[in-house]
């Protein structure tokens, strides 16, 4: 069946409706409307566990979640995945980058190319994450993310329901985008949910091992910049984004792609 084409007006109405409702309502609607073609993107953040927990409550037995294994993830994420699989009895779908692309990239630029500059880092993120995500989303009608507005300035305009223009025009849902870091941490603590133990070591965002370090920021005083400053910490003045959530409207994605395409990597 051809995928539904959403109009801006339809999506704006949905976004306004769910803006004033709890995350449970948007997730319930998403599963009722799209299952099995809707899935949560799980990357090991506390936000992802919160969403998984809510989905498990409002739509037991109809929860789909996927993660992208970049090949450079810290061991602590795999430990969390095992815990989550056990607790929620969910078959977390794991997807991997294209072997040939990774091999070509590493042959040309080395395994740690990301330290060579933003264009190399974006190339690595594209090959190991963005291209994989696109493959996963090609089979979905909607996807769910743990994006929050106060995570970084590039995320401040996140809507709860939006059209994903970068990915086939499917719906991109961000049910807890209006939560703060404290809200998320409190939900996890109060319900005794599993979380990545890197948070206990001063991390405030979880990502690939070579590209993420602890921030040691106290959660009570945290600002958007501080929250993700442990990601690609060696870069100065570049958005702390891998390309998955860069807004087309803001032009960030195109600017990054332009730089990246000057490299010699082969394209689809």
Tell me the catalytic residues.
242
Report the alpha-carbon distance of residue 221 to residue 10 in Å, rounded.
Answer: 38
Place of tokens 């070509």: 104
**Toward ligand SF4, which CB reaches closer, 70 or 151?**
70
Number of residues counted as binding ligand SF4 (CB under 6 A): 13
Q: How far is the CB of 116 from ligand SF4 (least distance, A)?
A: 10
Phi, psi of 40 (to 5 degrees): -90, 135
Could you tell me which of 121, 124, 69 has the C-alpha nearest to residue 101? 124
CB atoms near residue 112 (< 10 Å)? 13
Query: In a 3-state reduction of DSSP, which class is residue 16?
Result: helix
For ligand SF4, which stretch binds (CB under 6 A), given 79-87, 142-150, 206-214, 222-230?
206-214
- H/E stretch holding 162: strand 161-164
Pick one of 242, 244, 246, 260: the residue that binds ligand SF4 (CB under 6 A).
242
Strands of the 161-164 sheet, one edge to the other: 93-95, 65-68, 38-41, 142-144, 170-173, 161-164
Does 244 sit near ligand SF4 (CB under 6 A)? no
For ligand SF4, which stretch binds (CB under 6 A), given 151-159, 188-196, 205-213, 258-266?
205-213
Pick one of 56, 64, 101, 129: the residue that binds ligand SF4 (CB under 6 A).
129
Does 228 sit near ligand SF4 (CB under 6 A)? no
Does 198 sit near ligand SF4 (CB under 6 A)? no
CB atoms near residue 61 (< 10 Å)? 8
How many DSSP H helices and E strands does the chain contain? 10, 6
For ligand SF4, which stretch binds (CB under 6 A), given 9-17, 123-131, 139-147, 159-167?
123-131
**Toward ligand SF4, which CB reaches closer, 209 or 222?**
209
Pick one of 56, 64, 101, 128: the residue that binds ligand SF4 (CB under 6 A).
128
Report the alpha-carbon distance of residue 130 to residue 33 in Å, rounded.
Answer: 26
Q: How far is the CB of 136 from ligand SF4 (least distance, A)?
A: 15
Pick one of 28, 64, 101, 121: the residue that binds ligand SF4 (CB under 6 A).
121
Over the window 97 to 116, marking each residue x when it contacts ligand SF4 by CB under 6 A and - when it does not, the resulting string is -----------------x--
Over the window 40 to 79, marking each residue x when it contacts ligand SF4 by CB under 6 A and - when it does not, the resulting string is ------------------------------x-x-------
CA-to-CA separations, 48 to 185, 214, 236, in angstroms, rounded:
12, 19, 28
Q: Where are the alpha helices (DSSP H) in the chain?
A: 8-19, 23-34, 46-58, 75-88, 99-109, 118-125, 131-137, 181-191, 224-227, 252-260
Question: What is the DSSP-derived secondary structure letter of residue 211?
Answer: G
Interacting residues with ligand SF4 (CB under 6 A) = 70, 72, 114, 121, 124-125, 128-129, 207-208, 210-211, 242
């Amino acid at each position: 069946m051809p995928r539904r084409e959403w109009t801006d007006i339809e999506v704006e109405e949905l976004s306004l409706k769910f803006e004033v409702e709890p995350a449970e309502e948007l997730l319930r609607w998403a599963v009722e409307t799209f299952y099995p073609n809707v899935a949560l993107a799980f990357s090991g953040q506390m936000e992802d566990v919160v969403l998984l927990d809510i989905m498990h409550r409002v739509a037991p037995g109809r929860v789909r979640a996927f993660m992208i294994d970049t090949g450079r993830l810290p061991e602590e994420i795999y430990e969390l995945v095992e815990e989550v699989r056990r607790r929620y009895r969910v078959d977390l779908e794991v997807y991997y980058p294209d072997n040939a692309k990774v091999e070509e990239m590493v042959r040309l630029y080395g395994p740690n190319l990301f330290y060579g500059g933003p264009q190399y880092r974006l190339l690595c993120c594209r090959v190991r994450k963005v291209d994989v995500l696109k493959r996963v989303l090609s089979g979905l009608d909607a996807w769910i993310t743990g994006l929050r507005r106060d995570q970084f300035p590039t995320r401040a305009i996140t809507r709860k329901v939006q059209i994903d223009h970068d990915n086939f025009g499917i719906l991109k849902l961000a049910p807890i985008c209006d939560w703060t870091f404290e809200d998320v941490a409190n939900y996890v603590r109060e319900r005794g949910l599993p979380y990545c133990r890197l948070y206990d070591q001063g991390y405030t965002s979880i990502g690939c091992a070579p590209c993420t370090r602890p921030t040691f920021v106290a959660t009570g005083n945290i600002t958007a910049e501080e929250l993700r400053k442990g990601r690609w910490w060696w870069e100065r003045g570049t958005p702390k984004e891998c390309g998955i959530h860069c807004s087309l409207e803001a032009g960030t994605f195109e600017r990054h792609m332009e730089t990246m395409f000057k490299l010699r990597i082969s394209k689809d």
